[in-house]
Chain A
Amino acid sequence: MSETDPAARAVPVATVAIEDDRLVLGGDWTVVTAAGIRRELARLEAGKLPAVIDARGIRRLDTAGALVLERLCSGLARGGGEPTLLGLQPLQAELLARVRELRAGRSPLRVPGVSPLVLLGQGLLDGLVELQSLVHFLGEITLRMGWLMLHPGRIRWRALFTDLYEAGVGAVGIVGLISFLMGIVIAYQGAVQLRVYGANIYVADLVGLSMVRELSPLLTAIIVAGRTGSAYAAQIGTMQVTEEVAALKTIGILPLDVLVLPKLLSLFIALPLLVIFADVLGVLGGMVMSKVILGLGFEPFLNRLHEALSLRSYLIGVLKSPIFALIIAVVGCFQGFCVQGGAEAVGRHTTLSVVQSIFLVIIADAAFSILFSWLGI
């Protein structure tokens, strides 16, 4: 054999023809030519196919070719005339016999269809079961947390500090940038309106209150949910797939101790700190923007801010964030432990963790607003 370029290799060809009341087959009956053969046979079948098949010309026969041939034979048999197959080489005949045998044992199966009603019910039940296991998970965490408070020596400090660094220090850049930009946006939108009334100085009220009380806790929580909550779900989920979680259990380490509680505690500490940082950067952004478009100096801005922003408003903003932290950490870890099966489940649950924690954070924020207005704070 000489060296040939694969593209220049002779293209496999199969032939089908009717000669003297015989169906004469030839060439390569392979997966490459099968589609063409089937088209050709369909065309010939419009007339009547002879029952004698001359297969001497078949050079190569693979499983796909054998299946085409077998379908042809069984089609002829159903049409009444018992087909006669001539001239297959022994190995080809063996392959055909094997295909025939396998095909006889095959009971065609359909993927069972499911009615939408069943899907709805199934979805509802799955949701309830998930809710139940979430409550179960929460209970476990609470008990273990209480136990740890009594035995602080058992806290995994190393894991806690690593997580604190990852979730806190690692998020400083993105949280700062987004808050700064948010401050700019609010100051700009406010300035346009306030200028009409000559009430330029109130831009400090607008930026200060909206950032500190609502926006920076919410924005920081959303960023952390996307950045850290998803990482928790993916990490625990992957460990679940690779049986690392099971290994921890057999070694006698509670997965809760090393995987969940350090994350929970570290986020509980890190998120309020990040919110304070976001407050500062948000106000700074507002100040810069006020200076640029309203010509309002930093000093009058800060003086006004001092009057407008009560300590209470500030604390409300900062103290909401530990609750958000709990939501994000619990949902992230919970979704991680929900992973079953393979890699694809990790992706699904990671997405779910982000969607659910953002959703729950916003619900919680709304609940706080209602609570505070009811209390008149």
Chain B
Amino acid sequence: MGENDSEILVELEGVVTRFGDVVVHEGVDLSVRRGEILALVGGSGSGKTTLLQEMVLLRTPDAGRVRLFGTDVEHLDEKGRMALRRRFGVLFQQGALFSSMRIRDNVAVPLREHTRLDPAFIGELADLKLMQAGLDVAAGLKYPRELSGGMIKRASLARAMALDPELLFLDEPTSGLDPVSAGAFDELVLRLRRWMGLTLVMVTHDLDSMWRVADRVAVLGDRRIVAVGRMEELSRMDHPAVRVYFEGPRARAARPAGT
């Protein structure tokens, strides 16, 4: 990695995934640079979430290489994997908040587990994370079942950021949100990147997010990455898997004027 490019945080090389006889990925190559927001898009069933699971060490690809922070994860022992896990956060599609705990305790879990801070400080830090994610402190005393969809995404984001990770993976962060909440969530992501210098990988369907938030968009189709680039660059490509994001009434509506 000696080039002048900025540092590569996530690198996939020839990743192959099979479910039984079904081949989902057939040689996926992708790299994510430090500080960027990469959107991973593709039709339903194209294996976006599976690819994300492989990046966050929940699944091992059937072939190919996954590098996180420059470390090949294949031959890493559990201790090494734990050390890597502490450096990234994951926002799951349904939030995946622990239902038996209050929101604030949900956010405190990683802090209690991985730091030796005292409970009072952890409590304040958890409140701070909730506020950074756009929730008020009162919401921290509630249980996940008492929150709306948008609030669950925010709380889950707060938990993913608890340890101030360098890298954040978001699985469909705006799905299931109304347009206003989705827009607010996009703003939040951009603000957090600015303050924390985060690198983000987000799986998304949301055309607005692709235009407004993502620095680069990677399109998954035909079992591999068919295109990676800025939306303006992608708009000049002919691949059918890419065209769907620029044609049709919804795509045209999402497109900013002058592009």
Q: Are B163 and A98 in contact (CB under 8 A)?
A: no
Q: Is the CB of A99 within 8 A of B99?
A: no
| Contact residues, B1-46 vs A (CB, 8 A) | 1, 7
Q: Is the CB of B128 within 8 A of A99?
A: yes
Q: Is the CB–CB distance between A4 and B71 below 8 Å? A: yes
- Is B84 engaged at the interface, CB distance under 8 Å to the other chain? yes
Chain A residues near B211 (CB-CB < 8 A): none
B117 interface residue, CB < 8 Å from A? yes
A6 touches B83 (CB 8 A): yes
Of chain B, the residue at the smallest CB distance from A35 is B116
Complex interface: stretch among B140-148, B177-185, B218-226, B232-240? B140-148
Once the chains bind, are A6 and B99 in contact (CB under 8 Å)? no
Q: Are A102 and B132 in contact (CB under 8 A)?
A: yes
Name the CB-closest residue of B to A102.
B131
Query: Least Cβ distance of A150 to chain B in Å?
Result: 41
Chain A positions within 8 Å of B99 at CB level: 341-344
Contact of A63 among B80, B115, B164 (CB under 8 A): B164
A107, B164: Cα distance in complex, Å: 23
Asked whether B138 is an interface residue with its Cβ less than 8 Å from the other chain, the reply is yes
Q: When the two chains form the complex, which single residue of B70, B117, B138, B145 contacts A109, counting CB atoms closer than 8 Å? A: B138
**Does chain B have a CB within 8 A of A294?**
no
Q: Is B131 within 8 A of A105, CB to CB?
A: yes
- Docked CA distance A67–B128 (Å): 9
The stretch of B47-55, B58-66, B119-127, B248-256 in contact with A is: B119-127
Checking B1, B116, B164, B197 against A91 with a beta-carbon cut-off of 8 angstroms, the contacting residue is: B197
What residue in chain B is nearest A340 (Cβ atoms)?
A: B145
Q: Is the CB of A287 closer than 8 A to any CB of chain B?
A: no
Q: Does A94 interact with chain B (Cβ within 8 Å)?
A: yes
- Contact with A67, one of B7, B79, B124, B137 (Cβ below 8 angstroms): B124
B91 → chain A closest CB, angstroms: 17
Chain A residues positioned under 8 Å from B244 (CB to CB): none
CB distance from A93 to the nearest CB of B (A): 11
Alpha-carbon separation in the docked complex, A341 to B132 (Å): 27
Interfacial chain A residues near B128, Cβ < 8 Å: 63, 67, 99, 102-103, 106
Whether A6 and B69, one on each chain, are in contact in the complex, defined by CB atoms closer than 8 angstroms, is yes
Which residue from chain B places its CB closest to the CB of A62 in the assembled complex?
Answer: B164
In the complex, what distance in Å separates the CA atom of A34 from the CA atom of B124?
A: 13
Q: State which residues 1-42 of A face B: CB under 8 Å.
A: 1-7, 30-32, 34-35, 38
Contact A94 B84 (CB under 8 A): no
- A88 within 8 A of partner (CB): no
* In the complex, A377 has a CB within 8 A of chain B: no
A64 adjacent to B69 (CB under 8 Å): no
A-binding residues in B (CB < 8 A): 1, 7, 69-72, 79-80, 83-84, 87, 99-100, 102, 111, 114-118, 121, 124-125, 127-129, 131-132, 137-138, 140-141, 144-145, 161, 163-164, 195-197
The interface of chain A, by Cβ under 8 A from chain B, is 1-7, 30-32, 34-35, 38, 62-64, 67, 91, 94-95, 98-99, 102-103, 105-109, 111, 341-344
Top 3 closest pairs, chain A to chain B, by CB: A62-B164, A341-B145, A35-B116
Known: A1-B1, A342-B145. 5 other contacts (CB 8 A): A38-B121, A63-B129, A63-B196, A109-B137, A111-B141
